[in-house]
Structure 1
Amino acid sequence: MEIAEWWPKLTHATRDWLLANNGDAVPAEIMTEIAAAGGPGKSEPWWTNQIDSDGFYFPDDASDWVEAVANDERPS
């Protein structure tokens, strides 16, 4: 499922956190909420190449999408 499909299913607080912390490691509880909303689970390839010692990160294209939303632009 694409980010545009599961994003509206996240709580307002989670969306606000993701907008304010775009590019930061995503906390486990937010990853769980993303998966419950129909987004990628922790073991899915979407996250696989985005892991380092700090945790899991959105892939570049997803971070770009979030940045567009944060700037009141239409994400591609």
Structure 2
Amino acid sequence: MSIEHWWPKLKPSTREWLIENNGDAVPAEVVAEITEADGPIASDAWWAGRSGHSGFYFPDEAIDWIEAVANGEAPERP
């Protein structure tokens, strides 16, 4: 599933956190909420980022998508 499908399923506080902390490491509890809303994150999903020792990060395309939402724009899927 794509970001535009699971985004509205997130709690408003989670969406707010993602907007306010766009580009930062995504906490495990937020990744868990996304997984609960969408199912396991497919490695080939355009919005799927990378995980490392410092956490999960969205790729630039997803960061841009979240920024567009924050600006009240209708973002398009890359």
Q: Please report the TM-score for the alignment, with normalisation by the length of structure 1.
A: 0.85
Matching residue of 1:23: 23
Determine helix, strand or coil for the equivalent of 1:56.
Answer: strand
Determine helix, strand or coil for the equivalent of 1:37.
Answer: helix
Q: Please report the TM-score for the alignment, with normalisation by the length of structure 2.
A: 0.83
User: Which amino acid in the other structure matches residue 67 of structure 1?
Assistant: E
Q: Displacement, 1:54? A: 1.8
User: Which amino acid in the other structure matches residue 53 of structure 1?
Assistant: H
User: Which amino acid in the other structure matches residue 71 of structure 2?
Assistant: N
Matching residue of 1:64: 64
Name structure 2 gaps, 5 residues minimum.
none
Identity %: 57
Kindly report the root-mean-square deviation, in angstroms, between the aligned alpha carbons of the 2 structures. 1.4
Matching residue of 1:51: 51
